[in-house]
Every structure is written in C-alpha cells, then in structure tokens.
Chain A
Amino acid sequence: MNARVVAIAALAAFLFGLVVATFSETRVFLPALLQGALVTIQVAVFSFLLMMASAFVAGAGKLSAIGPVRWIAIGYIEIFRGTSLLVQLFWFYFVMPEFGVTLPAMVAGVLGVGLNFGAYGAEIVRGAITAVPRGQLEAATALNMAPFKRLVRIVIPQAAIVMIPPMGNLTIEMVKATSVVSAVTLVDITYASVQQNQIHYRTIEIFMVTLALYYCFSQLIRFSMGMLEERASRHLARGH
C-alpha cells in the first residue's frame, strides 16, 4: 500500500514538474533554482552523515561511565543546542580564520548544520539506548557476550526502532535548516530564489516552486523513514 502511495506521489510530482517546466516564464529562472537545489541536496546529505555520527558519539558519550567523556558530551550538546545555528555558521566561517583555520564555504556549512543537529540527535540516541530494558543487558551479560557484541547485537537493534521516528522528524528539520547556509556564501536554493526574484520580480512563481521543492524533500524523508521503520520492526513479536 505504501509503495502505491509513493508511486502515485512520484507520478504527480513528475507531471507537476512537467507543467511548471513548460511555462515560458518559469523557463527563465528554473535552471538557477535547480542548480541551487543541487547545492541544498549536497549540504543535506553530508550534514545528515555528520549529524548521525556526532549524535551516536555524543549520545553514547553522555551515558559513559567515564567522567570526562560524559562532561565533554554534555558540553557539546548544551553549547550546540543553546546557541543559534546561524551563530555557529558564522563562527565556523568568519571566526575560525582568525584562529588560523580557513574552511571552504561548503565545509563550514556542513559542519555548522551537522554538528548543530547532531546535538539534538544525541538526546534521541541517549533516550533510545536507555529505553532498552535492563533485563536485555543482564541477559546478554549472563550469556557471556563481550561488551561490543552486546552493543551491536542487543542494544542497537532494539534502540533503532525507538530512534527512527524522532530521527526522521529531526532529519526533516535539518533539511529545512540548510536554507540558512547562504550566510556562509553558499548559493543554495533559498538564496538562488532570492537572486532570481531580484532579477525577474516573479515572487509568487519563484517562491512557490522553491517551497514545493522543500515540501517534496520533507515528504520524501517522511515516506522513506516510514518504510525504514516498518522494515526495522518487522521481526518484532506482534499482539502485545
């Protein structure tokens, strides 16, 4: 049933795109917008990878028994959640060079978005790991599993099911947040639409296309996360 919804949505999106692309007015600004969309997708994909990595490291770090590891994780989470994403982007791009670290715009943008959302993701990871019943850990210990094997085979598969829905929402938030990367001189779809609007003055058409593209991105993530969730919980016992 899910596959049918996706197929219909894809067909509708294709037809919509065909209609938009054939209007002579959109032909003027559409190439620039799509070029911007490519930058947005690039930033989103790399930020997603960084977000997942830092979420897992910081989330597990916050549960660590070793004091300093825990403090560093808590410090990272609080600082990156407390200050604004835009402030962090500025910091990476304009302040770091004064300390001798010059980053390309793309790297600064990915670092800012990825680390900011990684801090939110860390709380999700931490919550999911603590949601695994204690008995599971005790049983694994009783079966003489090594700590690493216990983590990979017992804890993570169970935590993943709890993690997927909130991580999906966070990913949607992250894709939306990539719209601010123009602050570090990247020409993403948002900035491209501002530029095109200043040239062509077709506010409604340009921004409707941009909003529709973002909306498609978020719906795509929602669908794929739904399918991932189904896949991850397939082996679970039913009826309770």
Chain B
Amino acid sequence: MDWDWQFTFDVVLPRLLPVVPITIQATVLSFLLALALGLGLMLLRTSSSRLVSIPAGEVIEFIRGTPLLVQLFFLFFLLPEVGIVLPPLTTGILGLGIYNSALCAEVFRAGILAVPAGQWEAAKALNLSAYRTYRDIIIPQSLPPIVPALGNYLIGIFKETPLLSFLAVAELMHASKLIGSEYYRFTEAVTIAGAFFLIMSLVAAGLVRLAEFYVRKRILH
C-alpha cells in the first residue's frame, strides 16, 4: 500500500493538530510537578536525620526501579477505589510528575553536592544567612550541571506522553490509534505522529542547548 496524501490532509492532519496542545500541556504541567516534588524529595533525601534520608532514598529508588506505565495504571485504578475521581489527563500528569520527580531529585542532589565544600565554609565565614547562601552562592553554582540534565528530562517527559494513550487520554498517540482503527490505515497517522515527535524533540534539544549557553554566559559569567 502506498502513502495517501489525500487521506493525510483530509483526515489525519485535521484530527491530529487539535490534540497537539494536550500533549504540550501534559508535558509542561508534569515537568513543573516533577520539579516541585523533586525539590521536596531532594530536601528529604539530604536531611541530616537518617530516619528521614534513608526512607526518602528508598522511595526514590523504588520509583526509579519500576516502569512508568505500571505506575500510571496503578494510579488510574487505585485513585477511584479510594474515592478520588480525576479526569484521565490529570491522573496521567500526576503519574508522569511523580515518576520524573524521583529523577529530578537525584539531579538536584548531584548539582548541590558538586558545589565545593569551601564555598559553604566561605559563606559561613562571611556570616551569610541560609537564604542568601543558597540564593547567591550555592544555587547559581549548581545550575550548570542541573540545567542540561533537567532539559533532557523535559524532552524525556515529552516522549513519555504517548503512554497516556493507555489511559485513554486524548493525546497525539491516542488520536492516531483511533484513526488507525476507524479507517484501518495506520501508515499516515502513526508516521505523522512520529514525525511530530522527532521535530519537537529536535527543537527542544536546540532550546535546551540555548538554555545551557545562557546559564554559562549570564549566570556564571
């Protein structure tokens, strides 16, 4: 069978383009959730009390050691059973955010640990408050390793959004699955979806490189 341009323009594109914002919305919201939860997990993980830091480490390890799809299904079936009824998209964003928060927590931790101990000691010697130590000394120096890694996770989340189609979230992959099963032609819909992901991740990779450049130039001088 050949590629059918007529079908592509009349059926596939008009149905795929409207769901692009849903994919992007899911990506951005889960990324923000992952950043917030990851920060919290990182603070627990680096706590001076072993009673807090060891369980936090195990939680991170467990989230990282199990597949995102199983976690998504777990949330999807568990939440209604305990009386929390959410739209599938929200459940999906929650799942993506929790899964990636464990990865973000490790990135934050690595970034903070990479700041030389002398910097902390110097900040203490200059009698800076904890807030100013973090704002002016630690965070700016920990950004260069953190920003590219977080950027890669943002692209990673974007490429994970097709998993939401398992929860019947009306995103790009789900729309192309539907077209495929209605017309019994998968070629155009799946290829267009793939091309879209390819183009978007190349663009996103370029943006991450720009952000990395900006951090090196403007924040670190």
Determine whether the beta carbon of B185 is less than 8 Å from that of A176: no
A108 CB, nearest partner CB in chain B, Å: 12
Within 8 Å by CB of A210, from B70, B159, B165, B197, lies B70
CA of A171 to CA of B186, assembled, Å: 30
B interface majority secondary structure = helix
Task: Please report the total number of A residues contacting B with Cβ < 8 Å.
Answer: 36
CA of A72 to CA of B185, assembled, Å: 29
Given A82-B198, A99-B1, A190-B73, A87:B67 Cβ within 8 A: no
Query: Which chain B residues border A190 with CB–CB below 8 Å?
Result: 67, 69-70, 73
Determine whether the beta carbon of A204 is less than 8 Å from that of B78: yes
B81 within 8 A of A: yes
Determine whether the beta carbon of A197 is less than 8 Å from that of B77: yes
A-B contact count (CB 8 A): 105
CA of A204 to CA of B79, assembled, Å: 11
A47 within 8 A of B: no
Determine whether the beta carbon of B190 is less than 8 Å from that of A82: no
Give B185-202 interface residues, CB cut-off 8 Å to A.
Answer: 185-187, 190-191, 193-195, 197-198, 201-202
In the complex formed, the residue of B with least CB distance to A93 is: B186
Determine whether the beta carbon of A82 is less than 8 Å from that of B197: yes
0/1 per residue, A78-102, Cβ < 8 Å to B?
1101111111101100110011000
CA of A178 to CA of B180, assembled, Å: 23
B96 within 8 A of A: no
Query: Which chain B residues border A95 with CB–CB below 8 Å?
Result: 186-187, 190-191
B93 CB, nearest partner CB in chain A, Å: 17
Task: Please report the total number of B residues contacting A with Cβ < 8 Å.
Answer: 38
Determine whether the beta carbon of B73 is less than 8 Å from that of A193: yes
Query: Which chain A residues border B71 with CB–CB below 8 Å?
Result: 211
Within 8 Å by CB of A83, from B62, B176, B194, lies B194
B198 CB, nearest partner CB in chain A, Å: 4
Query: Which chain A residues border B159 with CB–CB below 8 Å?
Result: 84-85
Query: Which chain B residues border A79 with CB–CB below 8 Å?
Result: 198
A13 CB, nearest partner CB in chain B, Å: 14
Determine whether the beta carbon of B191 is less than 8 Å from that of A214: no
Query: Which chain B residues border A41 with CB–CB below 8 Å?
Result: none
Pick the 3 closest A-B CB pairs, nearest first.
Answer: A94-B186, A82-B198, A179-B67
List 14 A–B pairs whose Cβ atoms lie within 8 Å, in order of A's numbering. Answer: A78-B198, A82-B202, A84-B194, A85-B159, A86-B162, A87-B193, A90-B180, A98-B185, A98-B187, A99-B187, A179-B70, A183-B166, A190-B67, A215-B65
